[in-house]
Amino acid sequence: MDAGWQQKLEPEIQDMLRKVADMVLSDARDEVPVRTGALRDSLISEVSEMEARVGSRDIDYAEDVELGTADQSPQPYLKPSLYQQRTVS
């Protein structure tokens, strides 16, 4: 077996992660509740070092919308977007 197999697969895995992260991002933007559009517009996806992230870095209330607070019911948009069945080619 080729000792460098992991290095050879890494670019393909990174590409697949980018595709999946972009799909999750698109779904999250469709699912997020919109009052002003600031949260929806702040959503990003990024992939680095074999890890994908989708969310907002700029909006401090993003987690409150997703999980709810003592005064507000949860309005999940990331978790449902993450758990969609997907086909990546």
CA-nearest of 74, 37, 73, 82 to 55 is 82
State whether the Cα torsion 65-68-71-73 is positive or negative: positive
Per-position pLDDT tens, the chain of length 89: 677 888 888 889 999 999 999 999 999 999 999 999 999 999 999 999 889 999 999 999 999 999 999 999 999 999 999 999 988 87
Q: What is the pTM of this model?
A: 0.87
Distance CA 23, CA 89 (A): 12
